[in-house]
Structure 1
Amino acid sequence: MSRTLILAVVAAGIGAGAYYYLTQPEPTPAEQLQSAAQEAGDAVSDAASSVAEQANDAASSLTDQVNEAAEQASDAATDLANQAGEDVAALASQGQDLVNSWIEDGALSVQNFDYDKMVASVQESTLAQDIKTQAIKILDDIKASPETIALKIQELQQLLTGQ
């Protein structure tokens, strides 16, 4: 008997649900418009969210690329600065070696001055052309005014050694 009662209750529930569904009035055009507008609004909101997300992703990617380029430029600048420092040190070393060889050979001292030998060694060196020109000018000044040799030797050493 309880089975029959349960079946009757289930059948009554199904009947009440069917009656409610079938007796629902058709939505009015205003309700249909409101429902369509709600769905369109949801679609626009989803599309805007998607566009915003894509824009954020693109901006993030661009920022990463800019940061990477800046880091590479910084590394290149550091490498160039290091190379320039090494080049300057090499030139100063070469200039110092040149001065030392003149002193050891006796070509450059207050008592002795071998103009031709020193000009030839400057011209044969791998010093920068402007340094060569300045060094030869100093040697020309010594040749023209031998009494200035002590002062000019210091000037020449400063030019060639960077000190």
Structure 2
Amino acid sequence: MSRIILLGVVVAGVGAAIYYYLNQPAAPVEQPQAAAEETGNAVSEAVESVTEQASEAASSVTEQAAEIVEQSSEAASDLATQAGETATELADQAGEEVAALTNQGQELLNSWVESGAMSVDNFDYDAMVASVQESTLAEELKVKAVGILDDIKASPATIALKIQELQALLTGQ
């Protein structure tokens, strides 16, 4: 692309020199050599000017391209850093939420044991379901816990196994 621009500039310079030469007042016949030298000098100056302008344009384009590449690299680096920081923050938040849910589930189990609502010998379905519904557990955990309590109510013989399942669910084990 820069060769085409350079060639266009050279052709324009030569054209300008020819135009200049053709529009000169008629030189006396005695001075054809001086006129030829002037024309040659004008063409040389035009070519030098065109070459200099083309060189400056190419240099400018190269500098702009380098700046764009540098800015793009910096932007990509910044985005990667931000993505890493966001991922770390999200992982920390998820860990904190899991720990909070585990604590809530353990507290719920402890309250059932302390109140005597949950043991192999005693099972207070209504009190346990009410405490699950009133808890701050995630809705998904509430549904699963009530499902296990429903299983125990439907088949009291499985209470020991289901209590272990319920404990694993609520404590994240």
- Percent identity (aligned): 56
Q: Does 1:59 align with 2:52?
A: no
- Mapped to 2, the partners of 1:28 and 1:94 lie a distance apart of 98
- Mapped to 1, the partners of 2:110 and 2:48 lie a distance apart of 92
How far did 1:123 drift? Answer: 0.2
Look up the match of 1:14: none
Look up the match of 1:88: 98
- Mapped to 2, the partners of 1:42 and 1:109 lie a distance apart of 95
Task: State TM-score, norm by structure 1.
Answer: 0.79
Gaps of 5+ in 2: 1-33
Spell out, residue by residue over 1:89-116, the C-alpha distance to the aligned partner (whole angstroms, 9 max, x if none).
Answer: 1001100111111112211111111111
Task: State TM-score, norm by structure 2.
Answer: 0.75
RMSD: 1.8
The partner residue of 1:39 within 49, 56, 66 is: 49
How far did 1:34 drift? Answer: 3.2
- Mapped to 2, the partners of 1:93 and 1:56 lie a distance apart of 56
Gaps of 5+ in 1: 1-23
Paired amino acid for 2:61: V
Look up the match of 2:155: 145
How far did 1:35 drift? Answer: 3.4
How far did 1:29 drift? Answer: 2.4
Q: Does 1:79 align with 2:101?
A: no
The partner residue of 1:100 within 101, 110, 131 is: 110
- Mapped to 2, the partners of 1:56 and 1:148 lie a distance apart of 73
Paired amino acid for 2:102: A
Look up the match of 1:120: 130
- Mapped to 2, the partners of 1:97 and 1:53 lie a distance apart of 66
Segments of 4+ in structure 1 off by > 4 A?
A: none
Paired amino acid for 2:80: A
Spell out, residue by residue over 1:9-47, the C-alpha distance to the aligned partner (whole angstroms, 9 max, x if none).
Answer: xxxxxxxxxxxxxxx997352443233212211221111
